[in-house]
């Protein structure tokens, strides 16, 4: 288990992304995935109040409701680290006092719990003063509804401003950030944001470590039509990224593992990364993901991956 920032939260080396629940995984499949993940030693689930509002027939909150039903069925809430987010729910975009309080109440109701372990601001709201956002979050922390707070989709400048505001007012600080980070997208974290995290002691829990599935190697330029993640995956179809994937496949074959395992193992070993957030739509996809915890890549292979993905 790994700590998150200065908090006492102990999360798994791999956090299970819950955005697929109610979308590409129905309730029964979601329960199977959750059971298998916990059975493999995982304890951390990443959600948002808006997941999966983009899916046909969904309005947002379905993923939380599925996890809430599963926790109630198993009676295992206190064994888990539950993260969810506020700020992007359809009709409740933003981080005002009212929007945060309404969003949190909805999440707690759907999750059937009275607290969230890690609560993210899902998207920076530059129209709302940082003081209002942070003071509202502080009130919920004091009331025991939130154990720790975090930020997603913040620039390094705005994240620093938020930390400075917390320090100035004596409020809880963000303890973690969630940027996109993978072999094919390195520049969103590496550089100013990584330097800020190191300087301020923030954990990095990156999303899309497999680039929406591109780094699993299961997609080709001809088979994304009709796929649930098709438009996201297709955005990664560049000559550079195919070269990266070719090397990932070659190294995976060398180790006798899946490309997924190599891509996530590389990320787990990156400076500043606490735990990647990754989702699966079927239990059969989980072993390759969880195997990354036990794979130590040879330094020469790490160098090859670093070089092919550097430009």
The superfamily (CATH) of domain 2-178 is NADP-dependent oxidoreductase domain (3.20.20.100)
- Kindly list the averaged pLDDT for each block of 10 residues, start to end, along the chain of length 311: 80 96 97 98 97 95 98 97 97 96 98 98 97 98 98 96 98 97 97 97 97 90 60 87 97 98 97 96 97 97 97 70
- Closest by Cα among 176, 245, 193, 236 to 15: 176
**Eight-class DSSP state of 271:** T
Q: Report pLDDT for 224.
A: 59
Q: Report pLDDT for 98.
A: 98
Instruction: List b or e across 43-67, with b for residues whose CB sees 16 or more CB atoms inside 10 angstroms.
Output: bbbbbbbbbbbebeebebbbbbbbb
Show the CA angle centred on residue 309, arms to residues 303 and 311, nearest 5°.
Answer: 120
Q: Report pLDDT for 232.
A: 75
Q: pTM of the entire structure?
A: 0.94
| Catalytic-role residue among 51, 119, 120, 181 | 51
Q: Report pLDDT for 234.
A: 87
User: Does 51 qualify as catalytic in the annotation?
Assistant: yes
Q: Report pLDDT for 114.
A: 98
- Closest by Cα among 181, 89, 101, 180 to 136: 101
Domain boundaries in the chain? 2-178
């Amino acid at each position: 288990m790994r700590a998150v920032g200065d908090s006492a939260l102990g999360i798994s080396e791999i956090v299970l992304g819950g955005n697929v629940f109610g979308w590409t995984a129905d309730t029964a499949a979601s329960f199977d995935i959750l059971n298998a993940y916990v059975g493999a030693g995982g304890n951390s689930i990443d959600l948002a109040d808006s997941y999966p509002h983009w899916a046909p027939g969904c309005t947002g909150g379905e993923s939380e409701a599925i996890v809430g039903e599963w926790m109630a069925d198993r009676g295992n809430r206190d064994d888990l680290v539950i993260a969810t987010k506020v700020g992007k729910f359809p009709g409740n975009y933003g981080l005002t006092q009212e929007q945060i309080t309404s969003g949190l109440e909805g999440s707690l109701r759907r999750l059937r719990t009275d607290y969230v372990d890690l609560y993210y601001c899902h998207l920076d709201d530059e129209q709302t003063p940082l003081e209002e956002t942070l003071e509202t979050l502080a009130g919920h922390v004091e009331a025991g509804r939130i154990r720790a707070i975090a930020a997603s989709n913040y620039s390094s400048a705005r994240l620093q401003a938020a930390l400075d505001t917390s320090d100035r007012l004596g409020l809880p600080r963000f303890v973690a950030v969630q940027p996109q980070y993978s072999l094919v997208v390195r520049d969103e974290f590496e550089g100013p944001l990584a330097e800020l995290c190191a300087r301020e002691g923030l954990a990095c829990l990156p999303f899309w470590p497999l680039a929406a599935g591109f780094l699993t190697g299961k997609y080709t330029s001809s088979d994304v039509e009709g796929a649930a993640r098709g438009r996201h995956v297709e955005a990664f179809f560049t000559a550079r990224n195919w070269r990266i994937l070719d090397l990932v496949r070659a190294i995976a074959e060398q180790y006798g593992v899946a490309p997924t395992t190599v891509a996530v193992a590389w990320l787990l070993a990156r400076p500043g990364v606490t735990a990647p957030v990754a989702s699966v739509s079927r239990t059969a996809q989980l072993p390759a993901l969880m195997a990354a915890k036990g794979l130590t890549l040879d330094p020469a292979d790490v160098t090859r991956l670093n070089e092919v993905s550097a430009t």
